[in-house]
Structure 1
Amino acid sequence: MSYADLSQVRLYYVIDGPADAPALVLSNSLGTCSDMWARQIPTLSQHFRVVRYDTRGHGKSSVPTGDYTFSQLAGDVAELLDHLNIDQASFCGLSMGGPTGLQLALDHPQRVRKLVLSNTAARVGSVEGWSSRIAAVTENGLENMASGLVERWLSPAYRAAEPGLTQVLVDMLRRTSNEGYNGNCAALRDADLRGKLADIKVPTLVISGSQDPAATPQDGQALAAGIAGARYIELDTSHIANWEQPDAYTRALVDFLTA
């Protein structure tokens, strides 16, 4: 297993694909880990040097105490690129990974070649909603909340057709640290990047799910409209679009990133 000991955190990461291929960083959603991209790796690794990592507080990465910010989460990515001697990479983030990518492009624009913002928004949820989520996790724990949360991640039809793959995500969430999860919830609670979208200058693709209750198509359309020249596509999925429609999702990534 590979770890990068950075200034604030120890990040777990895994790399697939040729060492001389263009770099692509994949950033996980809240409550998952780098394994959430497994269905994309066989194809993406034919085109890119794919770097997956567990966001701080998730998976095998360390769990710094306290609330996190997206400046910290983006800084983790920039430091990971330094650790790997990668000057520039494309970046794809889903859900919480979206604001991480936005902040990375704002704080470190020279490091980002192309940006994919998936099932996300410039303002995800509300202060009240995230404060309530933090309180619920503190009281009840993710192990007891996982099944209910995953019901918002996947469409009813998918959960009925793929109970085994649904369970994989439930178990991924159960293994997430309550403290790490809440630290990232605090970042989502406090972040509002709507006023900074015009400062994003890198080529950008926004992907939404037509059935996504957490980051709606309207959120995605507003995100794309705020970034000059951004492309927008919509898949017939709920929140974890790359899991529900892996082939269409991967094809969209390859088409955009290799164009």
Structure 2
Amino acid sequence: MNIADLEDIRLHYRIDGDPDGAPVVFANSLGTDMRLWDKVLARLPKTGLKYIRYDKRGHGLSECPKPPYGMGTLVRDVERLMDHLAIRDAVFVGLSIGGMIAQGLAAKRLDLVRAMVLSNTGARIATREIWAQRIADAERGGVVALADATMTRWFTPAFRATPEFTAWRNMLTRTPADGYIGCSHAIAGTDFYATTAALRLPTLGIAGSEDGSTPPDLVRETTELVPGSQFHLIRKAGHLPCVEAPDEYARVLNDFIIAQAH
């Protein structure tokens, strides 16, 4: 296990693939850890690319400070992690809050981000009122109080009928309440419409047709803020298409990476 000591936070990270390969950095969603990407990484090339994953603060095996967190803090965490690992010129793949982190990092440190993948995300996600209610529910009853509604937004009925679904529900409910609440504050306070519209870098948007958290129209609207961007819709998948449709997700991601001569 690798832990990066970044002074005020210790983050868990993992490196797979070719140690000398071009870097691809992955940022996962609220309520998940780096295992979100297991199926996709198993389907990506083993040579030529180096895959860097990490658990954001309050998630997985990283430290969990008291909330609230700001989006700027989450962006700074991965910025410092990439500096710590001497990672530059990466393709940055972010899903949900990870996609918000991607937008913020590209705006702040374009030297770190060669291209970005905005998966199941938005320049703004939901409303402050919605997040305030989720935060209040988590403060009262823990993350388990949000689990049933969240799973309905995240996964299709077909996937919820599989044994694997139990593992993803458990991953969510075992997320520390402070981590979930902290990151919820960050999402609630973020509006990247103007910031992302000013970006000029290769961008791919990926959406799931059945996503109840970040519907396809939101993902498309956000992606199209960046001139020359591409958009791909994965049908019969929800908020985590890398889990429900890993073959298609990996194929689309790999094609984008190759197009960057990365």
Fold shared by both chains (TM-score > 0.5): yes
Between the aligned partners of 2:150 and 2:49, the Cα distance in structure 1 is 32
* Percentage of pairs with the same residue: 38
Match of 1:37 in 2: 37
Output one character per residue of 1:185-236: Cα deviation in whole Å (capped at 9) or x when no partner: 0000000011222221111000011111111111012112211111001001
Match of 2:50 in 1: 49
Match of 2:18 in 1: 18
Aligned: 1:193 with 2:199:
no
Q: Does the 8 Å CA contact 1:44/1:50 hold for their aligned counterparts?
A: no
Between the aligned partners of 1:31 and 1:94, the Cα distance in structure 2 is 12
Output one character per residue of 1:22-79: Cα deviation in whole Å (capped at 9) or x when no partner: 1011111000000111101123352421011001110100012221122111111111
Between the aligned partners of 1:212 and 1:144, the Cα distance in structure 2 is 20
Q: Secondary structure at the match of 2:122?
A: coil
Q: Where in structure 2 are the equivalents of 1:16-95 lying within 5 Å?
A: 16-44=16-44, 46=46, 47-95=48-96
Match of 1:179 in 2: 178
Shift >2 Å, 4+ stretches: 143-148
CA-CA distance at 1:118 after TM superposition: 0.2
Q: State the one-letter code of the partner of 2:57.
A: R
Match of 2:257 in 1: 257
Q: Does the 8 Å CA contact 1:16/1:45 hold for their aligned counterparts?
A: no
Moved more, 71-80 or 249-258: 71-80
Aligned: 1:8 with 2:26:
no
Match of 1:218 in 2: 217
Between the aligned partners of 2:62 and 2:154, the Cα distance in structure 1 is 23
CA-CA distance at 1:168 after TM superposition: 1.2
Which ranges of structure 1 fall in alignment gaps of 5 or more residues? none
Q: State the one-letter code of the partner of 1:48.
A: L
Q: Secondary structure at the match of 1:114?
A: strand
Between the aligned partners of 2:7 and 2:44, the Cα distance in structure 1 is 30
CA-CA distance at 1:8 after TM superposition: 2.7
Output one character per residue of 1:68-121: Cα deviation in whole Å (capped at 9) or x when no partner: 122111111111111112122111011110100000000111110110000011
Q: Does the 8 Å CA contact 2:32/2:175 hold for their aligned counterparts?
A: yes
Q: TM-score, length-normalised on structure 2?
A: 0.95
Q: Does the 8 Å CA contact 1:116/1:205 hold for their aligned counterparts?
A: yes
Moved more, 74-83 or 112-121: 74-83
Between the aligned partners of 1:215 and 1:143, the Cα distance in structure 2 is 21
Q: Secondary structure at the match of 1:97?
A: helix
Q: State the one-letter code of the partner of 2:26.
A: L
Q: State the one-letter code of the partner of 1:127.
A: R
CA-CA distance at 1:164 after TM superposition: 1.8
Q: State the one-letter code of the partner of 1:235.
A: I
Could you say if the C-alpha distance between residues 213 and 143 of structure 1 is closer, same or farther in structure 2, counting changes exceeding 3 Å?
closer
Q: Secondary structure at the match of 2:79?
A: helix
Match of 2:202 in 1: 203
Q: State the one-letter code of the partner of 1:107.
A: K
Between the aligned partners of 1:94 and 1:25, the Cα distance in structure 2 is 11
Match of 1:165 in 2: 164
Moved more, 21-30 or 36-45: 36-45
